[in-house]
Amino acid sequence: MTEAKAEGSEPTRSLHFIHQIIEEDNKTGKFDGRVQTRFPPEPNGYLHIGHAKSICLNFGTALKYGGKCNLRFDDTNPVKEDIEYINAIQEDVRWLGFQWDALFYASDYFEQLYQWAEKLIQDGKAYVCDLTAEQVAMYRGGLDPKTAKESPNRNRSVEENLDLFRRMRAGEFPDGARTLRAKIDPRAANINLRDPVMYRILHATHPHVGDKWCIYPMYDWTHGQSDSIERVTHSICTLEFENNRPLYDWYIQQLGIYAPQQIEFARLNLTYTVMSKRKLLELVKNKYVSGWDDPRMPTLCGIRRRGYTPEAMRNFCERIGVSKFPGTIDMAWLEDAVREDLNKRAARVMAVLKPLKVVIDNYPEGQTDELDAVNNPEDPAAGSRKVPFSRIVYIERDDFMENPPKDYFRLAPGREVRLRYAYFVKCVNAVKDDKGEVVEVHCTYDPETRGGNAPPDGRKVKGTIHWVSVAHAIPAEVRLYDHLFAKENPDDIPEGQDYKVNLNPNSLVTLTDARVEPSLAGAKPGNRYQFERLGYFCVDRDTEGKSLVFNRTVTLRDSWAKLEKAQQKKK
RNA sequence: UGGGGAAUGGUGUAACGGUAGCACAGCAGACUCUGGAUCUGCUUGUCUAGGUUCGAAUCCUAGUUCCCCAGCCA
């Protein structure tokens, strides 16, 4: 190894293959050093985490190279698209933290596209076909070109084609009666080149251009030229469009217009969820979830409601990288990304999810203490607050065990623990109901441990648990979320079954009897907190007036839970 | 069956003929008023077989496996 690292030189961070291509293009002057990308969603559904990867890539690339990135709706199919989606998509892109240079609609180019179509007809490069959809499929043959044959209408005269096409536009024919097809090669090895359909007849109202058209261009006839019109340099898209690139190139070449460079990358797959728009729509429509923004959904509005931050999302997209390998990323990465972000910024508070009453026998009745609690140990500027303490407190049910294993550090008969920020308490006895369930625990406290400090005798406790004062606590509803699907790969299903058999029946557990510390009074929807020792939570939009509703964004890392699980496995 | 792509630890991603690195997960330990955070250490990898070369994840040849395409969807 030579002295590769010159002193003072920046360690060069490695570029993924797309940025390598761009830097190479900039070096050779292919696009005069210009970099322009775009995010081109179809407004037929809500954006999901997979789109976030594309958004971060496209907008991030423009930002990195001082270029432009537009938002363009590829709205070529009015029967599936809707203004609801157009609005939601814009909101989601903004939430992620990006601002487009221009907002376009592919439908803005419909007239230009139509003119270009007439030009191809004039040049003998397109023809009107009378075959039905089924017939077209049959004539096109299977994957093997040997089974293909050409359309009987392939050699119509230019005049007849032009006349028919104009009458298609004029609305003379019913839906599906005819199509305009590119005259390329009926027996091409690449099936996309076997005289693809350019226009279909669709008497439908378009969400953006209304009833202006009754013929609509196919995506393939629209996408490349739209990029060309906008002068996109690097047209970044997902792998499945590799097969279509030769077709886009053909159109651009026949038209003799500016040619962007298409680069394909692998779309994002995540464990324990589905990303297909069709499936997400089905989950919403058939009420498997409460809506597009159900916090269990991988939609951007869903994870937003769940409490994820845009910073965490962008960081996640940065970390997973960009390549052409269609792998699946472990959901744990996403969770790690939010934890990392929220750890630095979320205020710590105490909340008891499943309350168990603790009476401190030797604490004076009617007395209240105001104890200092740190708001965020990761951020001294966050300051501190007062938390009220009194004779009866709630602790977490899971923090008491009558017959605990050795490595259980929490409260148990005869054991002493620290109540966070308050006192050491020692369990005297537990009171049970007729069913044998512990309903109340009695403790004594040590006044010398006020503030949670160790007593003069140097006594130590292994566990510190959280609590709220019964007299001061605020009731709250807490929604605990888990993976939407019970299997890493929801599509891993038994013969003849459906992916929905893998839905996780415990993906939502609602706790209606939680208590939170009084400082949370007046918390607003969207506010994020760390409930100490439990996880990160945010105030849900269902919160109204006094009734607080929290969503669990993600649990804290829990080495005790891990231990428990491991021990259960041993048994 | 035709065409287009891709293969590096459990997962994802670097290395561009010269020490296989990073992150997540996992394991062990330190520290701790969160079994949190932080810190330290560890396990695990170049699809296979040949070849070129002083030297191959990288170049060549052959094979294997996986993904995508047969909408008037995008």
DSSP per residue, A208-241: TTBTS-SEEE-HHHHHHHHHHHHT-SEEEEEGGG
State yes or no: pLDDT of A379 exceeds 60: yes
Q: Which one-letter DSSP state was computed for residue A268?
A: P
Q: Is the Cα dihedral A422, A522, A510, A537 positive or negative? A: negative
Rounded to whole angstroms, how far apart are CA atoms A299 and A49? 6
Minimum CA–C1' distance nucleotide for A562: B35
Chain A residues 393 to 432 whose Cβ lies within 7 Å of strand B are 407-410, 418, 420-421
Minimum CA–C1' distance nucleotide for A15: B14
State yes or no: pLDDT of A535 exceeds 80: yes
Q: Could you read off the pLDDT of A114-171 as tens digits, one per residue? A: 999 999 999 999 999 999 999 999 999 999 999 999 999 999 999 999 999 999 999 9
Chain A residues 251 to 290 whose Cβ lies within 7 Å of strand B are 266
Rounded to whole angstroms, how far apart are CA atoms A164 and A162? 5
Please, which pLDDT band fits residue A571 given cuts at 50, 70 and 90?
low
A24 is catalytic: no
Chain mean pLDDT for chain A: 95
Rounded to whole angstroms, how far apart are CA atoms A197 and A181? 4
Q: Could you read off the pLDDT of A64-85 as tens digits, one per residue? A: 999 999 999 999 999 999 999 9
CB proximity A149–strand B (7 Å threshold): no
A479 is catalytic: no
Amino acid A246 CA to nucleotide B49 C1' distance, rounded Å: 35
State yes or no: pLDDT of A10 exceeds 70: no
Place of tokens 């090895």: A189
CB proximity A233–strand B (7 Å threshold): no
Q: Are A159 and A193 in contact (CB under 8 A)?
A: no
A329: alpha, beta or left? (left if phi > 0; alpha if psi -120 to 50): beta
CB proximity A378–strand B (7 Å threshold): yes
State yes or no: pLDDT of A193 exceeds 90: yes
Amino acid A192 CA to nucleotide B49 C1' distance, rounded Å: 36
Higher pLDDT, A558 or A8: A558
CB proximity A465–strand B (7 Å threshold): yes
Amino acid A178 CA to nucleotide B61 C1' distance, rounded Å: 50
3-state class percentages of chain A: helix first, strand second, coil last, to nearest 5: 35, 25, 45
Strand B bases contacted by the protein (CB, 7 Å): 1-8, 10-16, 18-19, 23-27, 33-38, 67-74
CB proximity A455–strand B (7 Å threshold): no
Q: In 3-state terms, what secondary structure has residue A81?
A: coil
**Helix ranges restricted to H, A123-218:** 133-140, 158-170
**A320: its two tokens:** 């997973």
What's the pTM? Answer: 0.96
Q: Could you read off the pLDDT of A549-561 as tens digits, one per residue? A: 999 999 999 999 9
A142: alpha, beta or left? (left if phi > 0; alpha if psi -120 to 50): beta
CB proximity A141–strand B (7 Å threshold): yes
A86: alpha, beta or left? (left if phi > 0; alpha if psi -120 to 50): alpha
pLDDT score for A7 = 32
Name, in order, each residue with C-beta under 8 angstroms of A512's C-beta and a sequence gap of 6 or more.
A477
Amino acid A232 CA to nucleotide B45 C1' distance, rounded Å: 39
Taking the C-alpha atoms of A450, A456, A461 and A465 in order, what is their torsion angle to the nearest 10 degrees?
10
pLDDT score for A570 = 67
State yes or no: pLDDT of A482 exceeds 80: yes
Q: Which of A42, A150, A318, A564 is catalytic?
A: A42
A406 is catalytic: no
Q: Which of A38, A53, A181, A277 is catalytic?
A: A277
Please, which pLDDT band fits residue A100 given cuts at 50, 70 and 90?
very high
Q: In 3-state terms, what secondary structure has residue A244?
A: helix
How many residues does this entry show for chain A? 571
pLDDT score for A71 = 98
ipTM above 0.95, yes or no: yes
Closest protein residue to B70 (Cα–C1'):
A142
Taking the C-alpha atoms of A329, A330, A333 and A335 in order, what is their torsion angle to the nearest 10 degrees?
130
Please compute the mean of the pLDDT values over residues A475-482 and round it to a whole number.
98
Q: Are A468 and A422 in contact (CB under 8 A)?
A: no
pLDDT score for A13 = 64
Q: Which is nearest to A472 in space by CA: A571, A368, A353?
A: A368
Between helices A245-255 and A219-230, what is the axis angle to 10°? 60
For chain A, helix (H) and strand (E) counts, in that order, are 13, 25
State yes or no: pLDDT of A547 exceeds 50: yes
Please compute the mean of the pLDDT values over residues A286-301 and round it to a whole number.
98
Report how far apart, in Å, the C-alpha atoms of A256 and of each of A119, A120, A467, A536 are.
Answer: 11, 11, 72, 56
**A318: its two tokens:** 């940065």
Q: Which helix (H) or strand (E) holds A566?
A: helix A559-570
pLDDT score for A564 = 87
CA A345 to chain centre: 21
CB proximity A215–strand B (7 Å threshold): no
Instruction: Supply the DSSP string of A395-442, one letter for each residue.
Output: EEGGGB-SS--TT--SB-TT-EEEETTS-EEEEEEEEE-TTS-EEEEE
Minimum CA–C1' distance nucleotide for A240: B68
Report how far apart, in Å, the C-alpha atoms of A341 and of each of A26, A316, A347, A373, A467 are.
Answer: 35, 11, 12, 22, 25
